[in-house]
Structure 1
Amino acid sequence: MPTPDGLFRAAKATDSDVIFCVLTFIEVWSRSPEYVKWLATRGGVLFGGGPLNQEVGDSLTAAGVSIFNLYGSTEGGIMSTMLPAEVGRDWNYFRFPALVTPEMIPNDDNTFELVMVANEFCRPSVLNTKVGGIDAYSTSDLFKSHPTKSGYWKVYGLTDDQIMHSTGEKTNPGPLENILNQNPLVLSSVIFGRGRFQVGVIVDPKPDYRFDPTDELKLSEFRNKIWPTVEHMNEYAPQRSRLFKEALSKLSKPFTYTAKSTARRQVIISDYDEEISALYDTVEESAQTAIPPPPQWDITMTVVKFIRQIVIAVMSTDVSDDDDIFQRGCDSLQATWIRNSLLRAIRDTTQFDARKFAGNFMYSYPTIATLTTFITNLLSGNDDGGDISHARIVDEMRTMVSKYSQNFLDHCHKGHEASHSAERSGGCMVLLTGSTGALGCYLLVQLISHLDVSRVYALNRKSPNGKTLIQRQEGALLEGGFNSEILQSKKIILCEADLAADCFGLPHASYQEMQGSVTHIIHNAWSVDFNLTLKTFESNIKGLRNLIDFSLSSTLSRPARLLYTSSIGVFQNTDAHGNSVLAEKPIEPEAAIGTGYTESKWLSGGLNGAWNVNEWVPALIQSGSILGLLPDDHKPVSWISLDIAASSLVEFCMSLNLPPDHIVHLVHPHPVHRSSLASVVSSEYSVSLVSYAEWLAALEQKAVILSENVDNKQIPAEAGLPTHLRVQRLLPLFRRLAAKETSSEAMGFDSLDIAEAVALSPTLADPVLPQLGSEDVKGWLAYWRKKGLLPASFS
C-alpha cells in the first residue's frame, strides 16, 4: 500500500529527480523540514487528482521545491503541459498544450467550465456535447483564469459539487474543504447546504482523534480545537459560504472514500440527510423565536425593547440597557444565541442580507444600547456591517480617557509629618493588586521581605471557582516556587475586592483604615480576555481611576504613590526602525490599536522556570512539536526574569527620586541574542531552526498549533486556556511581528530607552546583573513539560 513515507523513501533510494504522486502525499511531506529540504534538490514534484492547497504550494515553492500541476481525465487524457520550464509562484496555473482544443464556457461567478473539443490529434473517449457542430466532451470541471497571464488556468472545482443555496447563490466547497483538511486533527471534510440559507460541514477526524459522537463534551472540545482553521477558511470564503460554529455537524457514520482517498461527497451527504436536517433545526431553535420581532426596525424604542427581551431571555437575568453583558456574566454560547435570535428576526422581516454578520458582533457592541444603535444604523444603510476603523477606535480611546480624567480631587491633608517620619523609618504600607498572578507573587514576597515595608494590603478579584483567596494565594506561591508559609506573616492582609466598586467593595471601616495608612500603591491587576473590546475593559479603567481617587483622598500628609504596570503591547503599532529606540514618554493611542489586551508582557520565567503557559513565547516553543522547526533570530531580546522585574518595580515605587507622572521602561539592560536561547531549545528537542518568515509560513499552513503528543482531554484549569484558543489569539500577533522587519530587536519588537529605569533601580544598574542563558531556558522547558504544555520529546 503506497504511503507518504513509503513513497518518499523509495524516491530517495532510487535518486528520483521527478516524483509523481497524489496531492495528499505532498501535503504530508510539506510538514517535514527534512523532506522539504530534499525535495528542493530534485527537479520537481508532479501531482494530479485535484487542486493542491494554496498555502502548501506557496510554502513549498518558497522553500525551493518545483511543483508541476498535471491536469487530465480518463475521458480526455492529459490536458496540461507535463513539465513546464518555469513554474515559481504560478505553480497552480497551467497552459493547455497545442494538441488540446479547449472551449472555456463562462459562468456568472467568474469561473469557466472546460469543454474539450475533438480535433485530428486529440479526440476524447467520451463525447457528450457539440461546439460549433464539432463533437466535444463537457468535463464538468471549473477553472479560473490567471489575473494577468492570458492562457493560464487553474482548477477551481466541479460543477456537480456546486452548492445552490435557497437564495440562488452558489458555494464551491472544494477550495474551502482543502483549507479545513489541513488541520492536523482532520482527515477529511464535506461541506453541505444545498437548498439551505447557509452552509454546514461534517468533519471526519483522524483515527487518533475520533470520539463517541454522543459525547457532547468531546464534540464541543473537537469543534473548539479545529475552530481556528475554520476561521482561517472563512477569511477566504465569500459571505454566503462562511461557517458558523454551530454548523459543524457531529460524525455519526463512517465516511466512504474513493481510490484516491478523497471523500465521496454525494454519498456522504445522502447518508447524513437526517443529521443535516436536525442540525439546521438546532440552529433555528437557538433563536428566541417566541419573542415577536419589531414591526418596524427604524424606530429605536421598538428595536431596543425587542433586543432587551432577547438578552434577558437568554441570560435569565435583568440587564439594564447600558450594562456590559459580558461584565454581567454573558458567555460565548449565550452571545451566540443572542446573535442568532437577532439574525433570524432580521432575516424573516427584512430584505437585508444577514450573512454580513459572519463574526460575532456582540463583542463589539456589548450593551443593549450600543447593539440597538448598531442594528438600526446597519439596516438603514448607515453602517458597514461592524468593521470598526482605526480612527473610530482612537476616538473611543480618547473619549474614555476624557471620561475618566475629569474632576480629580485636590489632596488637602497637610501637617501630618508623623506619617512621613514613619515611612522613612520603615513604616511604608503598600496596597498591591493582582498578588495571585505570576509577577504579583514575586512582588508580594519581595514587599514582605522589604525592611521598609510594614504592611501589604493584597487586593484580588473574587474567585469564580469557589476557592477562597487564601487558597488561591497559596497555590500561586507554590506555583512560583515559594514557600506558602510566607502568608503567616503579620505584614499581609488579603482582601477580596472590586476596584470598580465604591470603596473597592470593602467595608467602609476597612477602606478608611487604608486611606489613613497606605503610602504606596502597585497596580498589577487587569482582566485578561482577548475577545473583548475596549468597552468591556471599562470596568478596569474605572478601577484605575478609583485607585487614583483613593490616593488623592488619603488622610496622610501626601497622596499615596501609585505605580501602574502597563504592557509592552501598547507599542505594537510603533514604527521605530533600525537602531532607534522608543523614549520613556507617553505615546499616541494609534500605537496600541490591535487587541484589548496582549499576552506579550516582555517578562520571562521565574527562578523555578515558571512562565505562564498562556503567553506567546510558550506557545511559540510548542509549535516545534508539530512543525519540526522553530524560528531563529540573530537580533537581541531584552526579556527580563520575574524576580528582577519585581525587584525593579519595588525600587521604582520606593525611590525618593521618582517624579510624578513619570514613565519608565522595564526591560533587561543587557540583552542577549535570541539565537543563543533558541539554540538551547533546538538542542533539547532536536528541532530545526529556520527564519521567522519560514516558520510563520509553516504555522499558517497548519492553521492551529496542537501537539499530537498532548492528550485531547480538557487541559486542567491551572494550565490555562486550551492551546487552540491561545494560538487563535496569537496568530494575529505573530503576523504583526513578521510585518515589522526593520525592528531593532528580535521577533519584531523595538528597543526601549531605559536610562530613567536604570537611574531609579539599583538592580538594573548592577553591572553584573545576570543575563538570560541556557539554564533559564532549560528551566522554562522543564516547567512547561510539568504543566503538560510540552512533551518529553518532539517526534
Structure 2
Amino acid sequence: MPVFEELYTQDSNKAFVPLSPVKPTMDDLTIVMHSSDFGEVDMTGLRVACHATPMFHAMGVFQTLWATTCGSTMAVFKPQFPTRTPTPDLMMEGAIASKSDIIYCVPSLVEAWAKNTDHVHSLKTTKGVVFGGGPLSKEVGDYLVEAGVNISMVYGCTEVGILNMFLPRPSGKDWEYFNFPDSVNPHLIPQENGNVRLVLLPCQYQVPVVMNHSVSGVGAYDTSDVLSPHPTKPGYWKVYGRADDQIMHSNGEKTNPGPLENILQQDPRIQTVVMFGRGRFNTGVIVEPKPEFNFDPSDSEKVSRFCKDIWPTVDRMNSYAPQHSRLFREMILIASPSKPFTYTAKNTPRRHAIINEYEPEIEALYAAMDDNASADIPPPPTWTLDSARDFVRAVVKKTLERAVTDTDDLFQNGCDSLQATWIRNSLLHALRETTKINTGTLPGNFVYNRPTIDSLASFIAALTSSESGDGISDSERAITAMVDMVEKYSQNFPEHISTVPAPQSEVVFLTGTSGRLGACLLAILVALPEVSRVYAVNRKSSTPIFARQRSILEEQGYDPDAILGTGKVVFVDTNMEGENMGLSAELSEEIRTSVTHIIHNAWPVNFNMSLSTFEPSVRSVRRLIDLALSSPHPTPARLLFVSSVGILRQIDQMKPIKEGLVEPSVAEGTGYSESKWVSEHILARASNETPLRTVAVRVGQLSGSSISGAWKTAEWLPTLVRSSVHLQCLPDTDKQTSWVPVDAAARAINDMRKSDVPNLHLGHPRPVPWSAIMGPVAKALNLPLVPYDEWFALLEKSGKGLDADSEVEMMHKNPGLKLLDFFQDTLDATGSSIEALGLPPLDVTEAVKVAPSLGSDRLAQMSGDDSLRWVSYWQKIGFLP
C-alpha cells in the first residue's frame, strides 16, 4: 500500500497558495460532524472494531473513510431493533466475534476492559487498541502496555482533521506520545514548564475550516490544547490538557484538572469528579458517586464515611499532584442526587455548567474552610506556652499528615504554601474563638517567619499574654540568627592537600543549568576549548533534566544539539544539601578529583521563607567549600557564588554602592537576602582561613536574551508591560537603568570565575535612561508614556471591586495586580534612588577590570533594539498582542 509521502510529493520550488474561500449555501451537500495520514501499519484487509463510535462524531466519519480508501473492514453490531446499548462487555463480545484486528474506541471502554483479566487477554491478541476523543488514564495505559497490549491514540479535531500518525509501530511505554506528520503545519506557542499551545496553520494538505487566530498575519486555528514534550525524544508530544480547562488560582498557580480527575475516577465508588478553584488559593472537587453509592449529602455522617472510604484514592492523587493542587479532606463536595451532573455527547461532564450549578455549595465550602480550618481540634481553655505548643503540634500533625519535632523547620519537612495557609487559618480561628485579639492586624506571613512548632507556640503565647516578651525586636532576632549561622558553617574547614600535578584542562561544576542564566553559562562554557567537561547539576524533578535543558537552551536562542552533543556535558540530578551532596561514592570521587572550577548558580527564590528555611541552601555552600578544598590539585578548585543585589536592600541608594562585604542590617528583611548574606560571609571566612579563592558576584537586573529576546513572563518587567497594554499606558520615570542581557551576564560571570577580587557587582557599566528602553516599547505597542505614580494609580484602581472569577480574569489580562505590593514599594523608593523603580545602583569598577566582556567594545549600551527584541518574543509566544 503506498504511503502518504509517495502519493503527495512536495515540490520545493512551488509555494503553497491556499484556495480561495468558498461560501456554501444551505442547498450544498455537506457533512455535519459533532465537534469535540496514515502511518506504519498497512490497513488493507484489516478488520476494525467500530461498535461504539457514533457516526455524528468525527471519529465515526473517519472510520468510514478508511474503509473506502484503505480497504479496511468495519466491524459493527448487526442491525436490530431496538438497538443494543454499546456497553464495554457487548463491545468486547463484538470485537471477539468479528475477529477484529484493531479495536477503535473511546478511553472509557479501555479503562473498563483493563479491570477484567479476560478482556485484557483478548486485547493482547489484536494488532492494537486505538483510542480517541479524550485522555486515557496513565495508570491504565501503563498497565495494559506491561500486559502486552499495543496501545496508540488518534489525536485530532473536527476543525482540521487527524493530526498525528495513525497506527504507528508499537511504542511501548511511550504510548501517550505522538509526532506530527509532514501533512500538518503546527505552530507551537511556548507555555509554562516547557509546554506548548498548539495552533494549526494552513498548508497544502490541511486547511482549518475555522480561523480563530493569526500568526504573522496568517489565519490559523488555535486548538487551545496544551502539549508536553517527550523528555528524551525531540518532536514527540503528549496532550497535557486544555488551556481553557486550566484552573488559575489567586496566587497565580495553575491546576491541570484532567490527570487528577482521571486518578480519582479510578475509585470504584466514584462516577465522575469535577475540580474547581478558579480565583481561589486552593482546589476543591465535586464528587458524583456511582448510583449504588448515592446518598443525601446533607447527612454529615454519610459524607464523612464516604470521604474516608475514598481517601486512599485522594491520597494517591495528592502524591501525583503539584503541591498547590493537592486536596484537603474539607474541600470534597458530594454531589446531590437532586442536582445530577450533565454530560456532553462524548459523555464528558459539562465542567462549567456543573460548577455554576454548584456555586452556592462551593462558596459555602470555602467560607467554612476559612472560618473553621481544623475546627475539630479544640483550642486550649487557657493559653500558656505549653498549651499553645500542644495545640500548634496537633494542627501541624493534621495538616502535614505526619508528626515533626517541635524544632523541625516545617518547610524543610514538606510544608507548602497551601499547608502554611491552612496552619495559619487554624491558628487564627482558634484565637478568634477564645480571645479578643484583632487577628486582622497580624502579619499574613507569620508561619513563614516562625517555621517551627516552638516558634509558632511562642508567638501565640506572647499574643495571648499581657507580657511584652523579652524586648528583642524581630530585626534584632534576624541579625543574631544571620551571624550565628555564619559561625555555624565556618567551623573546621578541611585542610587542602595536593597529591597530583595541575590538570591540562578545566572541569566546571555548574549548578542551576535549567534556569536561564545557568543555561547561558552552560552554552558559554561548553564552547570554550580549555573546558573539557561541565557537570550540569540540578535538583531532581518529575521532568527529566535532558528535556528541561533542551527547552531552556532553545528558548534562550542556542542550538541544543550543538551544546548537548559535544560530549562535554554530564548531567547530575541531586539534592546538594544532603550528605555527600546526594552523589554516589563513585561519582563523588570522580568530581572531587577532576573539578577545577565551581559556579554555584542554583538558589531557591521565595521571598516568604525565613532564614531557617534557607538553611539547607546555606549548608550546600559549605558542602561546596569542602569539595573545593578536597581537590588533589596544587590549588583548590575556584568557587564562584552567584549572589544578589537584594543583599543591599537597605543601603542609601543615591550613590553607587561599592563592591565589598556589608553589615547584616543591610540584608535583613527577607530570608532570601539574609541567606545570600550568610553565604557571602561563610565564603569570605573560608577564603581568609584556607588557600581557597572565592568570588561572590552580586547580580543586578538581568534582561531578556540578546539572541532570542526571551524574558520569562512571570518577572516584573514583562508583567508591567502586559498590564500596560490593558491599562493603555506605560509608566515613565527620569531614572536610569543598568540592566544586563542574561547571555552577556553569563559571559561576564565566566570572566569572573578566575578573579582574585572576592566581591563583585554585575550591572551594566554604562546605564541609559528608562525612556531609552521603554520609549521604543511604547511606540511599538502604540501606548502613551505617563508618570509612574499615575500609572500605578490606574493599576491599583483596576483591581478594585472584583469578585473571585472577575479577579482571576483580570489578573490574566492585567498580571501587574499580582505584583501590586512590589510596584507600591518601587513607587515609595523611586525618590531615594538614581536607578529606575528603586533598584540599588551598583559600583562596578572592579567588575569591569576583571571581566573584559563588560568593556565598551564587547557590551553595547542597552537600546530600543533590545527592548523591541523582548516585545517580539512576548508577541511570538502569545503573551502580548
TM tier relative to shorter chain: 0.5 to 0.7
1:428 to 503, 506, 509: 506
Residues 649-670 of structure 1 deviation map (CA, whole Å, 9 limit, x = unaligned): 1111135xx24xx111111222
Q: Is 1:298 the equivalent of 2:298?
A: no
1:639 to 739, 743, 765: 739
Write the letter of the residue equivalent to 1:539: P
2:277 to 215, 220, 236: 220
Structure 1 residues 702 and 773, CA, compared in 2 at 3 Å: closer, same or farther?
same
Cα distance in 1, alignment partners of residues 408 and 860 from structure 2: 49
Shift of 1:296: 4.8
Task: Name the structure 1 match of 2:559.
Answer: 483
Runs of 5+ consecutive residues of structure 2 not aligned to the other structure: 1-249, 251-271, 283-329, 332-358, 674-697
Shift of 1:723: 8.2
Write the letter of the residue equivalent to 1:476: I
Write the letter of the residue equivalent to 2:716: W
Task: Name the structure 2 match of 1:441.
Answer: 519
1:590 to 665, 681, 691: 665
1:603 to 702, 706, 709: 702
1:287 to 371, 374, 398: 374
Cα distance in 2, alignment partners of residues 699 and 385 from structure 1: 42
Task: Name the structure 1 match of 2:868.
Answer: 778
Runs of 5+ consecutive residues of structure 1 not aligned to the other structure: 1-204, 206-214, 226-245, 248-271, 716-721
Task: Name the structure 2 match of 1:492.
Answer: 569
Write the letter of the residue equivalent to 2:831: E
1:539 to 616, 621, 626: 616
Secondary structure (helix, strand or coil) at the match of 1:574 reads coil
Secondary structure (helix, strand or coil) at the match of 2:451 reads coil
Report if the CA contact (8 A) 1:428-1:520 is conserved.
yes
Secondary structure (helix, strand or coil) at the match of 2:740 reads coil
Cα distance in 1, alignment partners of residues 389 and 475 from structure 2: 27
Residues 363-400 of structure 1 deviation map (CA, whole Å, 9 limit, x = unaligned): 11112222122222222234599996433333332232
Secondary structure (helix, strand or coil) at the match of 1:395 reads helix
Report if the CA contact (8 A) 1:431-1:457 is conserved.
yes
Residues 46-95 of structure 1 deviation map (CA, whole Å, 9 limit, x = unaligned): xxxxxxxxxxxxxxxxxxxxxxxxxxxxxxxxxxxxxxxxxxxxxxxxxx
Residues 486-526 of structure 1 deviation map (CA, whole Å, 9 limit, x = unaligned): 21222111011112111111112211221111111111111
Cα distance in 2, alignment partners of residues 331 and 353 from structure 1: 26
* Structural mapping, 1:592-671, within 5 Å: 592-597=667-672, 601-606=700-705, 607-655=707-755, 658-659=756-757, 662-671=758-767
Q: Is 1:744 the equivalent of 2:834?
A: yes
* Structural mapping, 1:536-575, within 5 Å: 536-575=613-652
Cα distance in 1, alignment partners of residues 596 and 360 from structure 2: 69
* Structural mapping, 1:395-544, within 5 Å: 395-411=480-496, 413-414=497-498, 416=500, 418-419=501-502, 422=503, 425=504, 427-463=505-541, 466-485=542-561, 486-544=563-621
Cα distance in 2, alignment partners of residues 563 and 354 from structure 1: 45
Structure 1 residues 529 and 750, CA, compared in 2 at 3 Å: closer, same or farther?
closer
Secondary structure (helix, strand or coil) at the match of 2:626 reads helix
Write the letter of the residue equivalent to 2:546: I
Report if the CA contact (8 A) 1:584-1:753 is conserved.
yes
Task: Name the structure 2 match of 1:765.
Answer: 855
Shift of 1:534: 2.2
Q: Report the TM-score when normalising by structure 1.
A: 0.59
Shift of 1:453: 0.8
Cα distance in 1, alignment partners of residues 416 and 747 from structure 2: 38
Write the letter of the residue equivalent to 1:623: S
Cα distance in 2, alignment partners of residues 476 and 401 from structure 1: 34
Q: How many residues align?
A: 514
Structure 1 residues 478 and 343, CA, compared in 2 at 3 Å: closer, same or farther?
same
Q: Is 1:680 the equivalent of 2:758?
A: no
Write the letter of the residue equivalent to 2:531: V
Secondary structure (helix, strand or coil) at the match of 1:566 reads strand
Shift of 1:736: 3.7
Structure 1 residues 322 and 769, CA, compared in 2 at 3 Å: closer, same or farther?
same
Cα distance in 1, alignment partners of residues 734 and 841 from structure 2: 14
Shift of 1:697: 2.8
Secondary structure (helix, strand or coil) at the match of 2:786 reads strand
Cα distance in 2, alignment partners of residues 356 and 570 from structure 1: 28
Structure 1 residues 724 and 360, CA, compared in 2 at 3 Å: closer, same or farther?
farther
Structure 1 residues 353 and 373, CA, compared in 2 at 3 Å: closer, same or farther?
same
Shift of 1:546: 1.6
2:458 to 358, 367, 373: 373
Q: Which has the higher contact order (CA 8 A, sep 6+)?
A: 1
Structure 1 residues 535 and 770, CA, compared in 2 at 3 Å: closer, same or farther?
same
Report if the CA contact (8 A) 1:286-1:341 is conserved.
yes
Cα distance in 2, alignment partners of residues 583 and 629 from structure 1: 36
Cα distance in 1, alignment partners of residues 800 and 878 from structure 2: 18
Cα distance in 2, alignment partners of residues 711 and 338 from structure 1: 25
Residues 705-725 of structure 1 deviation map (CA, whole Å, 9 limit, x = unaligned): 99xxx996899xxxxxx7888
Structure 1 residues 570 and 727, CA, compared in 2 at 3 Å: closer, same or farther?
farther
Structure 1 residues 327 and 319, CA, compared in 2 at 3 Å: closer, same or farther?
same
Report if the CA contact (8 A) 1:503-1:511 is conserved.
yes
Write the letter of the residue equivalent to 1:298: T
Structure 1 residues 470 and 320, CA, compared in 2 at 3 Å: closer, same or farther?
farther
Task: Name the structure 1 match of 2:449.
Answer: 364
Secondary structure (helix, strand or coil) at the match of 1:221 reads coil
1:728 to 814, 818, 833: 818
Structure 1 residues 353 and 523, CA, compared in 2 at 3 Å: closer, same or farther?
same
Shift of 1:556: 2.4
Cα distance in 2, alignment partners of residues 701 and 216 from structure 1: 38
Report the RMSD for the aligned CA atoms in angstroms. Answer: 3.9
Write the letter of the residue equivalent to 2:701: W
Structure 1 residues 382 and 473, CA, compared in 2 at 3 Å: closer, same or farther?
farther
Cα distance in 2, alignment partners of residues 335 and 500 from structure 1: 23
Secondary structure (helix, strand or coil) at the match of 1:222 reads coil
Report if the CA contact (8 A) 2:499-2:632 is conserved.
no
Write the letter of the residue equivalent to 1:406: Q
Report if the CA contact (8 A) 1:630-1:688 is conserved.
yes
Cα distance in 2, alignment partners of residues 600 and 753 from structure 1: 12
Q: Report the TM-score when normalising by structure 2.
A: 0.53
Report if the CA contact (8 A) 2:709-2:873 is conserved.
yes
Task: Name the structure 1 match of 2:141.
Answer: none
* Structural mapping, 1:675-714, within 5 Å: 675-703=771-799
Shift of 1:637: 1.5
Report if the CA contact (8 A) 2:614-2:672 is conserved.
no
Residues 162-211 of structure 1 deviation map (CA, whole Å, 9 limit, x = unaligned): xxxxxxxxxxxxxxxxxxxxxxxxxxxxxxxxxxxxxxxxxxx9xxxxxx
Write the letter of the residue equivalent to 2:414: G
**Percentage identity across aligned positions?**
38
Report if the CA contact (8 A) 1:600-1:616 is conserved.
no
Cα distance in 2, alignment partners of residues 333 and 574 from structure 1: 34
Report if the CA contact (8 A) 1:431-1:518 is conserved.
yes
Secondary structure (helix, strand or coil) at the match of 1:623 reads helix
Structure 1 residues 548 and 331, CA, compared in 2 at 3 Å: closer, same or farther?
same
Shift of 1:543: 1.4
Structure 1 residues 304 and 693, CA, compared in 2 at 3 Å: closer, same or farther?
same
